[in-house]
Chain A
Amino acid sequence: MLKISNIQTFYGKIQALRGVDLDVNDGEIVSLIGSNGAGKSTLLMTISGVNKAKRGNIIFNGENIENKQPHKIVDMGICQVPEGRRIFSRLTVEENLRLGAHANEKGKYFENDIKEVYDLFPVLSDRKTQRGGTLSGGEQQMLAIGRALMSKPKVLLLDEPSLGIAPKLVNQIFVSIKNINQEKNVTIFLVEQNAKKALELADRAYVLVNGKVTIKGSGQELLKNKDIQAAYLEGGAKN
């Protein structure tokens, strides 16, 4: 469904991605783990077209998208939930959601879509008219995911959904991600620092180190991998 080959992205002269190869198949949850500065967010930004790749191809459903503009890529069905949520803080919850529908047939099925999001995250329904900025971190993350779902994506790119969120809510968000994948049939590409959670959830996973994929395999395989345990699991995330 999404095939990334030899992607190289630069920030000025600094090379952030040194030839990444990666596949995401239809209906999967694929996780990408790695430490700070490995290039995880850069890869997501490159897929959604906000950053441009200098070399390499990104093929989505048989079509090259590496040179397309971000809004075209969203139209094709790839939507990103950016790192740090990036809620429109002075707009209300519902206005945030409506903006998510911006690319989606100009809101034709809007009423139904928004109901689905409220069913998925009932707390948002209670907070409809509240300003986005007044929500808690976890609620903002739910809003960011809900907002992305409003564009009816085929692939949802999630950038560190657990960042800065209470552990209890992290569990809830990961359950929702699983739901989105299974019930709404949305393919998930998840980037996480919380390696344990990300690997448990994933069908398949990749490890990114210094802009290159070093290890790949099923989520369970990677959980058992000695190197990964040493580097990503024992030291940090224990929840």
Chain B
Amino acid sequence: MEKKDIIQSFKDSLFTGLIALALFGPIVGLRTASKGEGLFITPQWEVVFLLVGLCILGRFLINLNSARKTEITFFSKITSKFSVITEDKAKHFAITAILFAVVFPFLPFTDRYFMDVAIMILTYIMLGWGLNIVVGLAGLLDLGYVAFYAVGAYSYALIATTFGWSFWICLPLAGVFAAFFGILLGFPVLRLRGDYLAIVTLGFGEIIRIILINWYEVTNGPDGITGIPRPSFFGLPFKRSPDEGETSFHLFFNLEYSTMHRIIFLYYLILVLALITNYFTLKIRKLPVGRAWEALREDEIACKSLGVNPTNTKLTAFAIGAMFGGFAGSFFATRQAFISPESFTFIESAIIVAIVVLGGMGSQTGVVLASIFLIGITEMFRDLEQYRMIAFGGAMVLIMVFKPKGILANRKPTILMHGDKK
């Protein structure tokens, strides 16, 4: 590495520092605080200098790294360690992860907070797997996936509060409704690809949210729906004192009442739902329709010339992806017992897309890792309040620097040579 390069990268990192200063100066540096009468601006320059310094240092390190590509550097060492977790080990990883997920609620350090975070991560894993069908397999970039999540949540909430049916009846119904909306979105976008498709799906997500806000008679508008029934354990509710003629979970199993029972049940519920999504995706990839999705992602004209019907193929991808979004939505509704349009903003879609893309398009294990990474990091930094989105952004940048094609970028073939280990 030459002296010229070092000077060059140093200049470049100083320039980065300038940009960082311009951004962080007003955003972080000037803090409004209310003292007595009115707002006052309290500067906090030391934080700004720290952040700018970090940016300069980071940029400088990246520059150094890219300047000497052939040498083994600090960065590529880390990257190669990451790449070891690929195809061969994916299976082991999956089994270990599932086992860990099963015993997780009973580990000594697991408390209520951990369970809540775990449930949230699992919800995002499920959403990621659902969207992976549309984006990863069929190659249709859907930026409005949250719409199906919302449709699922609202269908569940409305059916359950209106008719009082149990979770297990409402869940498939919510899935059917969401799938129907998937087809509804699918029709107008059949001829669109890439950027144009992304814009329309983005609009669709917003349309659903705006309808939810404004259709007051049905959705109760911005006030949302309250009192959504909690799921019961095959008919046994999780209540301290059950109603007349009912037995509740803790009485039936002779346990002392604890709110954790319900949380643990919810945890296993979403775990099972997520695993079903995963199992379904892995299976359907090996069927003609799944293969057609992947082929469509690769080349639409070749598909047509081989007799694949692109209309049906795209619609099934949208419908099935939406259905799993709907299932996740119902789960969300029953967990929260309250939903409002607030929960279904664009940022949700963006996070789900980020999980799929950062995980490596089409990779099931990648979705898991990306969910844990992104959701986990934002949770860890919850104390930083609004700055935690910086952590979120930082996590995305890190993944893109180290693994530009996503955490697990390799597509696994669906057919292996005879004699290959499965």
Give chain A's interface residues, CB within 8 Å of chain B. Answer: 48-50, 69-71, 73-75, 79-82, 86-92, 94-95, 98-100, 102-103, 106-107, 128-129, 131, 147-148, 151
CB distance from A179 to the nearest CB of B (A): 21
> Of B29-37, B180-188, B364-372, B414-422, which stretch is located at the interface?
B414-422
Q: Are A98 and B291 in contact (CB under 8 A)?
A: yes
CB distance from A196 to the nearest CB of B (A): 27
- Please provide the chain B residues from 261 to 314 with a CB less than 8 Å away from any CB of chain A in the complex: 288, 291-292, 294-295, 298-299, 301-309
Q: Are B306 and A74 in contact (CB under 8 A)?
A: yes
Chain B hits for A48, CB < 8 A? 304-305
**Interface pairs (10), CB distance under 8 Å:** A70-B304, A71-B304, A73-B307, A79-B305, A82-B301, A86-B301, A88-B302, A100-B306, A102-B288, A148-B306
Q: Are B307 and A103 in contact (CB under 8 A)?
A: yes
Q: Are B416 and A69 in contact (CB under 8 A)?
A: no
Q: Are A147 and B291 in contact (CB under 8 A)?
A: no
Known: A69-B309, A92-B413. A50 touches B304 (CB 8 A): yes
Q: Are A79 and B309 in contact (CB under 8 A)?
A: no
Chain B hits for A106, CB < 8 A? 288
Q: Are A95 and B413 in contact (CB under 8 A)?
A: yes
Q: Are A88 and B288 in contact (CB under 8 A)?
A: no
| A73-B306 Cα distance, complex, nearest whole Å | 10
Does B193 sit within 8 A of A, measured CB to CB? no
Give chain B's interface residues, CB within 8 Å of chain A. Answer: 288, 291-292, 294-295, 298-299, 301-309, 411, 413-417, 420
Other contacts beyond A92-B413, A102-B306: 16, CB < 8 A: A74-B306, A79-B307, A86-B302, A88-B294, A89-B298, A91-B291, A99-B292, A99-B295, A99-B303, A102-B308, A103-B306, A107-B288, A129-B413, A129-B416, A129-B417, A151-B306
Q: Are B304 and A99 in contact (CB under 8 A)?
A: no
CB distance from B408 to the nearest CB of A (A): 14
| A110-B417 Cα distance, complex, nearest whole Å | 16
Chain B hits for A98, CB < 8 A? 288, 291, 415
The total of Cβ contacts below 8 Å across the A-B interface reads 90
Nearest A residue to B294 by beta-carbon distance? A91
Chain B hits for A75, CB < 8 A? 307
Chain B hits for A87, CB < 8 A? 299, 302
Cβ-defined partner of B305 (8 Å) among A69, A70, A92: A70
Cβ-defined partner of A88 (8 Å) among B298, B304, B309, B414: B298
Nearest A residue to B416 by beta-carbon distance? A129
| A92-B420 Cα distance, complex, nearest whole Å | 15
CB distance from A131 to the nearest CB of B (A): 8
Cβ-defined partner of B307 (8 Å) among A71, A86, A94, A95: A71
| A107-B304 Cα distance, complex, nearest whole Å | 18
| A48-B416 Cα distance, complex, nearest whole Å | 32
| A11-B309 Cα distance, complex, nearest whole Å | 23
Nearest A residue to B288 by beta-carbon distance? A102
| A99-B295 Cα distance, complex, nearest whole Å | 8
| A147-B298 Cα distance, complex, nearest whole Å | 15
CB distance from B70 to the nearest CB of A (A): 25
